[in-house]
Structure 1
Amino acid sequence: MTRPVVSIVILCHNDRKYLARCVSSLRRHTRMSHELVFVDNGSQDGVIEDLRRIRRTYPWPVRILRNRENRFFAGGNNQGVRAARGRHLVLLNADTVVTPGWLDELAACAEARPNLGMLGPYTNHAAGPQVLWPPRYRDLGELPRWARSWAAPRRGRVRLVPSLIGFCVLIPRAAADRVGLLDDGFGPGGFEDYDYCLRLRLAGFELGIAEAVYVHHFGGRGYVNMRYDELREGNRELYWEKWSRRCRDACRDRVPAAAVRPG
């Protein structure tokens, strides 16, 4: 079997309504060689039957991995990445809608700049510099036409940023092999993407927004029926503890022994 250029890993956890929109947009707007790797994180909404139907009818290879329990963002994506065969990896949330040429542009930007360790799009719902607000389109029906006009003057342009949000990111295989998997010590609540961004930067990679790419994101679907603010605060503390400890250790290693002796 020919190796796909890109493996698109999509987590599912009771996302049936959103997944249908996502896959419909992938069918319409994704031309380059790819495979879909679905990871069902213990869904109970019947989405597995939809995934099997997609596997029968989708024009590119589809793989389905099933979990009895929810392994959350890091654990589920790690599972998909291990199974992926592509030269580039894309982590894509099920509650997204992609636009014309999105994957071609992400891959082209990554291959033009080998030092990029992660690329993301602009969007309507995220944090930081990726957000274009308010949206420039009135509804999803207008989105493809608007996205084409947005992309036309921006092709090939990359805006370097300190971090990206993990709802849609492309990671070249070389970067993933060097840095490793997501830290699954982060449970639900986020910060595993910030953690991975920092690890990439410490390994010498750059992060960027492919300025011609826009992906609609509904946002927050993975935290329905969860205490999101409490979970996020817990992961924030975990993130700062992890990296403040490593910074202290790194600084200690660089201080001459005589300088740290008392007296």
Structure 2
Amino acid sequence: MEKVSIIIVNYRTADLTIECVKSILAADIKNILIEIIILDNASQDGSYERLASLFPTLAVVALEKNVGFAAGNNRGVEIATGEYVLFLNPDTVVKPGAIEALYAFAKRRPEAGAWGGRTLFADGSLNPTSVSAFVTMRSILYRAVGLSALLKKSPTFNPETYPGWQRDTERKVDILFFCFVLVRADIWRKLGGFDERFFMFCEDDDICWRMQRVGLDRLFSPEACIIHYGGASTPSRPNRIAMLLAARLMWLKLHWSPLAARTAWLIIQAGVFARMVANKTVGWGAHQTAVWEQVWAERAVWARFPN
């Protein structure tokens, strides 16, 4: 019987992590051995103590400092003993049968490098953010000028979100976001795991891009389904946007030509400035305006072109 090592990285989300782990334990998983590894990313809020006390039979590891999502998961794989590794966000609830379905999918489609499933919001509606297409110069431009937001259902102007697909069929995708993704441990180690230059965000884009370059598909199945609340470890929207933009620029620097990356960098900055000005001019709400004003004010951090 094969083993799946489940990696959960906690950062100040103990209540959600506890709910997540309890949902795994309650799922009564059969035909697979399960190993749960919880890493606390130096939360310093009592998270580690609570988790270690509640789950004494599980591997609960305290990291000395907050090394980020990518490095935290890498530390988990270092001690994992399973043939497969399941990366699971702490702000998720595993529905009965989800892990078995994802494992069965991987066994049926072994040509892939990673397998992911369907995510729902707490109310049961579709959370479409478990997959994405790779960014292109066109998609960056359309997002910057607002066309992707205005024409959300257009595959031409909003290609990154796979508009029109309800995540109800199996298919190959560019990016699986690692809130609920299964990978063979040997493949993961050959790839070198997540690039730890990504603290949070775009580490998924990066590992999926590297899988594509060595001929490994990323496959999605609607049969494996979880609840994903989303955004728990970065509740501040301006900070979340700034961190995402910084990670995006890092990804462009690593995988695009210098000229293309610099051009995209300028377009992204122009898009943020335009969003801020448009909100102030049209009056789309004080909250929205404040968000984009703060993001623009922090451009010295996120818009600094990576070295």
Please, what TM-score do these two structures have when normalized by structure 2? 0.65
1:79 positional shift: 0.4
The SS at the match of 1:194 is helix
1:129 positional shift: 4.8
CA separation in 2, counterparts of 1:64 and 1:111?
29
- The residue number in structure 1 matching 2:214 is 203
Alpha-carbon distance change, 114 to 128 in structure 1, aligned in 2, over 3 angstroms: closer
1:222 positional shift: 2.0
Residue correspondences, number: 216
Alpha-carbon distance change, 104 to 203 in structure 1, aligned in 2, over 3 angstroms: same
Counterpart contact for 1:4–1:85, Cα < 8 Å: no
- The residue number in structure 2 matching 1:133 is none
1:77 positional shift: 0.4
Q: Structure 2 unaligned runs (5+)?
A: 121-126, 133-167, 261-307
1:19 positional shift: 1.2
- The residue number in structure 2 matching 1:44 is 44
**Does residue 179 in structure 1 map to residue 178 in structure 2?**
no
1:86 positional shift: 0.3
Counterpart contact for 1:40–1:66, Cα < 8 Å: yes
- The residue number in structure 2 matching 1:112 is 108
CA separation in 2, counterparts of 1:87 and 1:18?
27
The SS at the match of 1:195 is helix
Map 1:63-212 → 2, pairs under 5 A: 63-124=59-120, 125=127, 127=129, 129=131, 158-188=170-200, 190-212=201-223
Alpha-carbon distance change, 246 to 76 in structure 1, aligned in 2, over 3 angstroms: farther
CA separation in 2, counterparts of 1:128 and 1:111?
21
1:128 positional shift: 6.2
Paired-residue identity, %: 28
Counterpart contact for 1:11–1:38, Cα < 8 Å: yes
CA separation in 2, counterparts of 1:246 and 1:37?
39
**Does residue 215 in structure 1 map to residue 226 in structure 2?**
yes
CA separation in 2, counterparts of 1:197 and 1:30?
31
- The residue number in structure 2 matching 1:20 is 18
- What stretches of structure 1 move > 4 A for 4+ residues in a row? none
CA separation in 2, counterparts of 1:247 and 1:114?
37
1:54 positional shift: 3.8
CA separation in 2, counterparts of 1:204 and 1:227?
35
The SS at the match of 1:233 is helix
The amino acid across from 2:45 in the alignment is: D
1:224 positional shift: 3.2
CA separation in 2, counterparts of 1:49 and 1:85?
24
CA separation in 2, counterparts of 1:92 and 1:106?
12
The amino acid across from 2:42 in the alignment is: G
User: What is the RMSD of the two structures over their aligned residues, measured on CA atoms?
Assistant: 2.3
Please, what TM-score do these two structures have when normalized by structure 1? 0.76
The amino acid across from 1:243 in the alignment is: H
Q: Deviations over 1:100-151 (max 9, x none)?
A: 1111111111112221111111113452658xxxxxxxxxxxxxxxxxxxxx
Counterpart contact for 2:117–2:130, Cα < 8 Å: no
Counterpart contact for 1:126–1:165, Cα < 8 Å: no
Counterpart contact for 1:126–1:219, Cα < 8 Å: no
Q: Structure 1 unaligned runs (5+)?
A: 131-153, 249-263
Task: Determine which of 228, 242, 245 is the counterpart of 1:230.
Answer: 242
CA separation in 1, counterparts of 2:209 and 2:259?
12
Counterpart contact for 2:14–2:51, Cα < 8 Å: no
1:221 positional shift: 1.3
CA separation in 2, counterparts of 1:90 and 1:120?
9
Counterpart contact for 2:36–2:59, Cα < 8 Å: yes
1:41 positional shift: 0.1
Alpha-carbon distance change, 128 to 168 in structure 1, aligned in 2, over 3 angstroms: closer
Q: Deviations over 1:151-172 (max 9, x none)?
A: xxx8xx7321111111111011
